[in-house]
């Protein structure tokens, strides 16, 4: 049974990359709405590593405390066999999957390190660091989720993307990957529509995640060299970290996804790029600090 305070209490969801950051924020809001929340990531137990804060078990404890049911599953999303195991577990244990949030991403530290450098001066490995887990994995997870959802004729898949799909951010490999995530939602959504399964691409604004804020602090303290001269003028990079300081919380995207799960007009949105600011306006949502999130340009 659902209730006004637990409107999604009969839903089974999977949020990938939920040890920290956006994934954690999304998972917390889904737990608060009453979902059974499967969460994946590489870090199962808490560590002392300052560059990798958070863990699946810590996220799970917070989800449970908010009234949800958390199922932490250690998964390296660069390994196909790990991905397959997660979906086999959900199909076996639950027999359904109502929501997949493709959020797993392993390139934040690489993006901070390569900040301000032109693409030809960055090691070619940047492509795989950005677009293996951040793109290829999303496609594989979506296919696995669709196999479950189409049988039930119901479901929602969300690719966490960004404004980088429209304007230059960080490095070309980043933008190319985000455009592809958006196109994935459009094309896969087209094929899934007749099965009553929706697929959207979600653009949060600048989000104050743990790793981004660590990177901003490192740049401020001089531990990471700031770009100068012409390099500093590349796209929006000269001010990107400053924007994150005034950004939205990781939980605001979760509020938007909870609203989407209850949207009777959801199928009209399938295949589209949706911004958190626009969804916040449509559904009357506030961030956890009470702020209204404005559209970024």
Predicted pLDDT of residue 234 = 38
Q: Is the pLDDT of residue 233 over 70?
A: no
In the numeric block, which tokens belong to residue 151?
């049988």
In the numeric block, which tokens belong to residue 21?
């950051």
- Tell me the pTM: 0.87
Mean pLDDT score, 240-266 = 86
Mean pLDDT score, 200-210 = 83
Predicted pLDDT of residue 169 = 87
Q: Is the pLDDT of residue 240 over 60?
A: no
Catalytic, 168? Answer no
Q: Is the pLDDT of residue 221 over 60?
A: no
Predicted pLDDT of residue 297 = 59
Give the Cα separation of 98 and 157 in Å (integer): 9
For residue 206, name the pLDDT band (cuts at 50, 70, 90).
confident
Mean pLDDT score, 7-31 = 95
Which residues, including other chains, have CB under 8 Å from residue 82's CB and lie 6 or more apart?
75, 76
For residue 114, name the pLDDT band (cuts at 50, 70, 90).
confident
Q: Which of 17-26, 132-141, 256-265, 288-297 has the lowest mean pLDDT?
A: 288-297
Q: Is the pLDDT of residue 105 over 70?
A: yes
According to DSSP, residue 207 is labeled B
Q: Yes or no: say if 60 and 54 are a contact pair by the CB < 8 Å rule.
A: no
Q: Is the pLDDT of residue 235 over 50?
A: no
Q: Is the pLDDT of residue 58 over 90?
A: yes
For residue 231, name the pLDDT band (cuts at 50, 70, 90).
very low
Predicted pLDDT of residue 214 = 56
Q: Is the pLDDT of residue 197 over 70?
A: yes
Q: Catalytic: which of 38, 105, 139, 174? A: 174
Predicted pLDDT of residue 79 = 96
Predicted pLDDT of residue 14 = 98
Q: Is the pLDDT of residue 19 over 90?
A: yes
In the numeric block, which tokens belong to residue 285?
């949502």
Q: Yes or no: say if 140 and 16 are a contact pair by the CB < 8 Å rule.
A: no
Residue spans per domain, the chain: 12-283
Predicted pLDDT of residue 229 = 38
Predicted pLDDT of residue 11 = 97
Give the Cα separation of 75 and 82 in Å (integer): 5
Q: Yes or no: say if 159 and 181 are a contact pair by the CB < 8 Å rule.
A: yes
Average pLDDT, the chain: 87
For residue 106, name the pLDDT band (cuts at 50, 70, 90).
confident
Q: Is the pLDDT of residue 277 over 60?
A: yes
Q: Is the pLDDT of residue 216 over 60?
A: no
CATH class of 12-283: alpha beta
């Amino acid at each position: 049974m659902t209730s006004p305070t637990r409107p999604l209490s009969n839903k089974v969801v999977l949020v990938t990359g939920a040890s920290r950051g956006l994934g954690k924020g999304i998972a917390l809001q889904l737990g608060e709405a009453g979902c059974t929340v499967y969460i994946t990531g590489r870090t199962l137990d808490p560590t002392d590593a300052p560059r990798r804060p958070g863990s699946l078990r810590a996220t799970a404890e917070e989800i449970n405390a908010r009234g949800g049911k958390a199922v932490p599953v250690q998964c390296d999303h660069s390994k196909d066999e790990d991905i397959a195991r997660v979906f086999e577990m959900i199909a076996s244990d639950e027999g359904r999957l109502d929501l997949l949030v493709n959020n797993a991403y392993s390139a934040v530290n690489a993006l901070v390190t390569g900040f301000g450098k032109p693409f030809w001066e960055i090691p070619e490995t940047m492509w795989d660091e950005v677009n293996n887990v951040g793109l290829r994995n999303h496609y594989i997870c979506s296919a696995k989720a669709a196999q479950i959802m189409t049988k039930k004729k119901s479901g929602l898949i969300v690719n966490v993307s960004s404004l980088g799909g429209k304007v230059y951010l960080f490095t070309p490999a980043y933008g190319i990957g985000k455009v592809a995530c958006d196109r994935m939602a459009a094309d896969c959504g087209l094929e899934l529509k007749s099965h009553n399964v929706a697929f959207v691409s979600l653009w949060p604004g600048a989000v104050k995640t743990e790793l981004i804020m660590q990177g901003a602090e490192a740049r401020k303290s001089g531990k990471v060299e700031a770009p100068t001269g012409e390099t500093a003028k590349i796209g929006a990079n000269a001010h990107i970290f400053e924007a994150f300081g005034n950004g939205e919380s990781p939980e605001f995207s979760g509020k938007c996804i909870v609203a989407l799960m209850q949207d009777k007009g959801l199928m009209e949105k399938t295949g589209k790029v949706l911004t958190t600011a626009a969804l916040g306006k449509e559904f009357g949502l506030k961030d956890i600090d009470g702020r209204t999130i404005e559209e970024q340009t």
